[in-house]
Structure 1
């Protein structure tokens, strides 16, 4: 096999481009059509012997990682491969705030224990959890803040496709409105919130906006995983029963919801220095893409398309590189999300509406959140005898 990095052909780049989320940056690879994506990655892996492939990204060449060995090299490196952007949030996951955040999650989840729960209803409650944890109770009802953040993010993705003054101007207007609203909440520096901790940091003024935005986005990404997990538990009564009595098992169920339908199907890293790959030097500043979703649902895994919380408890997932959370913020979000689900299951029993997630057939690779609905049946408690 010749040394050096292979380059994707024109046809392969076209196939890759057709699978990119639209609009979106290159790290959203695989989101549109997971089955076609898996087939294409298998073809590339076979053709190039598992070596990384140079592909055409939105902002120039990018390195697409195909093998487990190379993925481990990237995710385990300390400094050579950094996320494109990350919040400087050291200390913000302090145990001092965690009990208060868990109580916020339980309070908001208490509104989801009756009637039909769909993704918009669950997401609205989870967004309140996010705003209260990040900015304090004063931001609980500020739905416009979340809408503006979504609009700014969407506008940024569209800009990657459309160049022009109109697109840039729209994003600037949205960003200005969002920043002004966010600054008001940050200035309150409400005690017991992440904003309160940010305000006490020595570089609060320069980094406050970025940190707060990242934390709010991080919480928001978990909404789909919570919906997936609640729907899975509704469709799998034995797992639901175990999760209701065991917080560790429930946490494992949430990890499964995130594995089966990850919110971000690929990790993006940027080289911070020149790196050598199979005899080719990859310059600093080059994007490296790792298709995590393809590894998590690899057909070689016996549990690939099944709901298998036990893999997070028996050491199976611990041996997989893709199972390691990328940052402390994920730990915090999963902990709060587990408390959120636990409060729902404590007072109600979810029953599936329809058979979107049947326990009798492989779980689908793609899932329309709008089709997931559960009916909540309140749990009847026996009166305590005197």
Structure 2
């Protein structure tokens, strides 16, 4: 049997409503202007509708798009997501052509695009280096959260800009040490490199900027400078998740997981097959790029009764193979536990002193964190 191929119209619909809007928002670093437009249009809701259409018309097997010169298949079945992630990196490689082109801008020797024995070595190194018990997270978070709380109480609201400044101080202190607390130039350089990475193949690499960034990084961490950009990259996404969690009244690690389920910071997971693979009785060729559009699997109203509400209780239940806020399988984020510890501590530290109004349900499909302005009141304050 041969794999179902989407019609030209459906391929165009996937490109126009799923893949291109995701690229436009920025897959490596978010673009504020595009995020504002995406929230206004609720573009993720449209994308989820498109994916539901694909599943209903072509599923349950992966749906191959009509793209000249490239075999691309969209997954529509949750079980298939579990298989794809579990069977990585063989026969489903993590280091896809597109991922290499993007990450080469700022981390050419990182775990995410390594292969073979190098990948096994770097995976083990990252897992050991990022164990939460190796970091003094709690006092760092409380120190910076206290400063942020005082600022918020003086202004009456929490904005993304004020939160992000505190969050990056936390990230630099945890990853690089207290001496890096005020080194905004370091993270500004990384942001510039990541903005280039948004364009992948289409933007020339700024080698001078990358070398300057790497030299500065090596001053703080001479042992692992080629791995640290990935850690800082992950902390950026964690900050976005934490700010959104505050907007829904979330607490602790389960609240962070729910924020990442509702608004995934990795909206597209890519894998590339190293051999021909069989799916639901049909075959897809070697070098097929498989695409997991995570907002669909996290917010599918046909499958999930809690799709559009804050539901921290689901994290005490058996794990859904397609709800993967930190990916899953051998490619799961090695810093998952460190991120959860840091972000959960930040939620709890702020919530001890401040209360914020919660977003009403059903929760929006697209939430622009840049525009969040959360009015704040001191805990215990009576509102008449």
Q: Does the pair score TM above 0.5?
A: yes
1:104 aligns with 2:140: yes
Residues 155 and 350 (structure 1), Cα distance of their counterparts in 2 relative to 1, 3 Å cut: same
Residues 267 and 344 (structure 1), Cα distance of their counterparts in 2 relative to 1, 3 Å cut: same
CA contact (8 A) 1:113 1:376 kept: no
TM-score, normalised with respect to structure 2 = 0.77
Unaligned regions of 5+ residues in structure 1, if any? 188-198, 200-207, 234-239, 244-249, 382-386
Equivalent residue for 2:309? 306
Q: Deviations for 1:199-242, whole angstroms, at most 9, x for unmatched residues?
A: 2xxxxxxxx33311111101111111111111111xxxxxx6xx
Q: Distance in 2 between matches of 1:104 and 1:124?
A: 14
Q: Distance in 2 between matches of 1:320 and 1:70?
A: 9
CA contact (8 A) 1:350 1:374 kept: no
Q: Structure 1 stretch 321-330 or stretch 51-60: which is displaced more?
A: 51-60
What aligned pairs does 1:111-150 form with structure 2 within 5 A after superposition? 111-114=147-150, 115=152, 116-150=157-191
Unaligned regions of 5+ residues in structure 2, if any? 96-110, 113-121, 327-331
CA contact (8 A) 1:72 1:321 kept: yes
Q: Deviations for 1:85-137, whole angstroms, at most 9, x for unmatched residues?
A: 52631311235413x12321222111222422111111111111111111111
Residues 261 and 25 (structure 1), Cα distance of their counterparts in 2 relative to 1, 3 Å cut: closer
1:296 aligns with 2:294: no
What aligned pairs does 1:288-367 form with structure 2 within 5 A after superposition? 288-300=290-302, 301-313=304-316, 315=317, 318-323=319-324, 325=326, 326-346=332-352, 348-352=353-357, 357-358=359-360, 361-367=361-367
Which secondary structure state, in structure 2, belongs to the residue aligned with residue 90 of structure 1?
helix
Which secondary structure state, in structure 2, belongs to the residue aligned with residue 221 of structure 1?
helix
CA contact (8 A) 1:260 1:305 kept: yes
The structure showing larger relative contact order (alpha-carbon pairs under 8 Å, at least 6 residues apart) is 2
1:39 aligns with 2:44: no
Deviation at 1:288, TM superposition (A): 1.4
Equivalent residue for 1:16? 14
Which secondary structure state, in structure 2, belongs to the residue aligned with residue 322 of structure 1?
coil
Which secondary structure state, in structure 1, belongs to the residue aligned with residue 376 of structure 2?
strand
CA contact (8 A) 1:109 1:341 kept: no
Q: Distance in 2 between matches of 1:58 and 1:312?
A: 41
Equivalent residue for 1:176? 211
Q: Deviations for 1:332-380, whole angstroms, at most 9, x for unmatched residues?
A: 101111111111122x12223xx8x22xx41110112233222333346
Q: Structure 1 stretch 325-334 or stretch 337-346: which is displaced more?
A: 325-334
Q: Distance in 1 between matches of 2:163 and 2:198?
A: 25
Residues 16 and 176 (structure 1), Cα distance of their counterparts in 2 relative to 1, 3 Å cut: farther
Q: Distance in 2 between matches of 1:340 and 1:219?
A: 13
Aligned length: 327
1:91 aligns with 2:128: yes
Deviation at 1:83, TM superposition (A): 2.4
CA contact (8 A) 2:261 2:325 kept: no
Q: Distance in 2 between matches of 1:59 and 1:132?
A: 46
- Which residue among 44, 53, 73 is the counterpart of 1:63? 73
Equivalent residue for 2:4? 6
CA contact (8 A) 1:230 1:350 kept: no
CA contact (8 A) 2:255 2:312 kept: yes
Larger radius of gyration: 1
Residues 319 and 263 (structure 1), Cα distance of their counterparts in 2 relative to 1, 3 Å cut: closer
Q: Distance in 2 between matches of 1:211 and 1:151?
A: 18
Q: Structure 1 stretch 8-17 or stretch 43-52: which is displaced more?
A: 8-17
CA contact (8 A) 1:118 1:373 kept: yes
